[in-house]
Amino acid sequence: MPAEIKRSVSIAGHRTSISLERPFWEALKEIACSEDLSVNELVRRIDEGRDNEGNLSGAVRVYVLAHFKNKASCAV
């Protein structure tokens, strides 16, 4: 399994770090670009929309997966 990469983001005025595998960081950047958002803003929105169960890294992974599953189902 690829090593996780830790990056810092700002959410609600405070810094936090997220650890994700490289493919998830790349997918997150792609989604942010397609929505004309910064990665930081996209992560803030993911954090705002999640229930507080689990961690932010997991919420980002689920968001990325759901995004591409939805995109794939629309292409059929």
All domains in the chain, ordered by first residue: 4-75 (1.10.3990.20)
Query: In the predicted model, what is the mean pLDDT of the chain?
Result: 90
Residue of 40, 39, 63 whose CA lies nearest to 50: 63
Which residues lie below 8 Å from residue 63, measured CB to CB, with a gap of 6+? 46
The pTM is what?
A: 0.87
C-alpha distance from residue 65 to each of 1, 23, 27, 57, 70 (Å): 17, 11, 9, 12, 9
Strand partners, 7: 18
Q: Beta-carbon neighbour count of residue 6 at 10 Å?
A: 10
The answer on pLDDT for 66 being more than 80 is yes
